[in-house]
């Protein structure tokens, strides 16, 4: 019987180290070990200025639904996606302020003293992110400090906004001195956390119960960061993958958000293909067209907005096609990657946060359907997040306001 080759195997000689690609010999072929080694991935995408509902939602429910103008642009992947209507995030209100809660589902972001919860991607990264160099990639197409991702303590995680810098982060190997400097910085960071943690424990004994709970939340954040620093230190010594694709050139004009999104989609595909990360969030900021989202049903504004949004769906279709064309054993990358696409705004024109346009593609679900829920009494979109976590192999029956899996969405 052939001996299984370890995934992190290298060729060494004459002082050179070459990382091997992912080979069939590196994968188990049967049993529980094979199931545990099967890569499952998640990409969560939000566009923050809504999507025109009448051009998104299809007619009819189930598998025989009549497609819409925007969904027609995804027609090649109809059998690989499920579209939803009548869904929202319970209690997530406040118009545009809701965009920070798309992956957290934390209610009432518009209220004073609001503190966010952990986002779907970071919850997943805590549990399965240690399998890759980067537990998660937090990305954004924006000129501001916007993000979809939040820690367990509700702190926003800064996003990477430059496709070129992301390319360098993923694939450009630092020189030996740079690697040692990075490792030393990580060591210093861990030492500082140890010091702060010990000081805080002594302080904790002098605090009220309410302050002790706050300190406990702080300790949780510290422990999370320690784990990530330790993992990052180990990965610094491991060669980064090599790719044929050249580094992209960043687009500075925010009005070209569709082209900017295409660049980032290309980088996400490379990150998934090389198994650099399996958890990705992408915030697409379309504030540049904010004025025409308040169209007042003016024909010229609606036509302009429709053209911009159609371009976004064209870019999404190209991304899904690229994932479908990338093969991994007997499956495509799309088969193993859940792609969530949606918005926090049911209608940007009225600042509505109900009946959210949303869909999920790939990932091994039984697709090709329109799950139509009550447009007046919405079904929790957060239940979809529970389904996604379970698809990643995480044993949970709740997340945020989700208390069960998405009704009607089945795994293959």
Convert the pLDDT of each residue in 135-157 to its tens digit.
999 999 988 889 999 998 899 99
Number of structural domains (the chain) is 2
Enclosing domain of residue 162:
39-172+242-391
The whole-model pTM stands at 0.81
Place of tokens 């303590």: 153
Same domain, 158 and 184: no
Cβ-count burial of 381 within 10 angstroms (0-12 exposed, 13-18 middle, 19+ buried)?
buried
Per-residue pLDDT band for 162 (boundaries 50, 70, 90) equals very high
Kindly report, residue by residue over 209-252, the tens digit of the pLDDT. Answer: 777 766 666 666 556 655 665 555 565 557 788 888 899 999 99
CATH number of the domain enclosing 162: 3.40.720.10
Three-state SS for 167? helix
**Is 133 inside a domain boundary?**
yes
Kindly report, residue by residue over 80-139, the tens digit of the pLDDT. Answer: 999 999 999 999 999 999 999 999 999 999 999 999 999 999 999 999 998 898 999 999
Kindly report, residue by residue over 311-366, the tens digit of the pLDDT. Answer: 999 999 999 999 999 998 889 999 999 999 999 998 878 889 999 999 999 999 99
**For residue 361, what pLDDT is reported?**
98
Query: Which residue spans within 121-175 are E strands per DSSP?
Result: 137-141
Same domain, 168 and 63: yes
Query: Alpha carbon of 97 to those of 49, 116, 232, 289, 291: distances in Å?
Result: 11, 12, 33, 17, 17
**Is 345 inside a domain boundary?**
yes
**For residue 135, what pLDDT is reported?**
92
State which of 193, 209, 238 marks the end of a domain: 238
């Amino acid at each position: 019987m052939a001996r299984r080759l370890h995934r992190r195997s290298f060729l060494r000689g004459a002082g050179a180290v070459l990382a091997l690609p992912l080979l069939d010999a590196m994968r188990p072929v049967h049993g529980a070990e094979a199931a545990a080694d099967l890569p499952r991935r998640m990409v969560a995408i939000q566009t923050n200025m809504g999507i025109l509902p009448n051009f998104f939602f299809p007619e009819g429910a189930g598998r025989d639904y009549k497609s819409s103008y925007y969904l027609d642009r995804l027609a090649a992947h109809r059998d690989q996606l499920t579209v939803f209507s009548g869904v929202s995030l319970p209690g997530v209100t406040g118009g545009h302020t809701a965009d920070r809660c798309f992956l957290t589902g934390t209610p009432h972001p518009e209220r004073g003293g609001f503190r966010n919860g952990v986002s779907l991607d970071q919850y997943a990264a805590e549990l399965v992110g240690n399998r890759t160099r980067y537990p998660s990639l937090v990305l954004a197409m924006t000129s501001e400090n916007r993000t979809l991702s939040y820690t367990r303590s509700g702190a926003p995680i800064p996003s990477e906004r430059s496709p070129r810098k992301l390319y360098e982060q993923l694939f450009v190997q630092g020189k030996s001195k740079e690697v040692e400097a990075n490792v030393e910085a990580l060591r210093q960071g861990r030492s500082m956390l140890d010091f702060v943690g010990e000081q805080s424990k002594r302080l904790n004994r002098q605090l009220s119960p309410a302050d002790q709970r706050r300190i406990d939340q702080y300790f949780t954040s510290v422990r999370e960061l320690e784990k990530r620093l330790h993992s990052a230190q180990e990965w610094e010594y491991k060669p980064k993958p090599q790719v044929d694709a050249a580094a992209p050139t960043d687009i500075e004009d925010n009005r070209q958000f569709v082209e900017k999104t295409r660049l980032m989609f290309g980088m996400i595909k490379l990150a998934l293909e090389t198994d650099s990360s399996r958890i990705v969030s992408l915030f697409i900021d379309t504030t540049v067209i904010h004025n025409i989202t308040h169209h007042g049903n003016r024909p010229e504004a609606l036509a302009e907005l429709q053209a911009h949004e159609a371009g976004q769906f064209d870019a999404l279709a190209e991304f899904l096609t690229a994932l479908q064309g990338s093969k991994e054993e007997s499956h495509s990358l799309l088969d193993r990657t859940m792609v969530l696409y949606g918005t926090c705004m049911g209608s940007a024109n009225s600042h509505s946060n109900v009946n959210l346009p949303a869909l999920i593609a790939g990932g091994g679900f039984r697709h090709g359907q329109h799950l139509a829920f009550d447009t007046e009494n919405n079904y929790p979109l957060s239940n979809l997040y529970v389904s996604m976590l379970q698809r990643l192999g995480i044993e949970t029956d709740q997340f945020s306001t989700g208390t069960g899996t998405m009704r009607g969405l089945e795994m293959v």
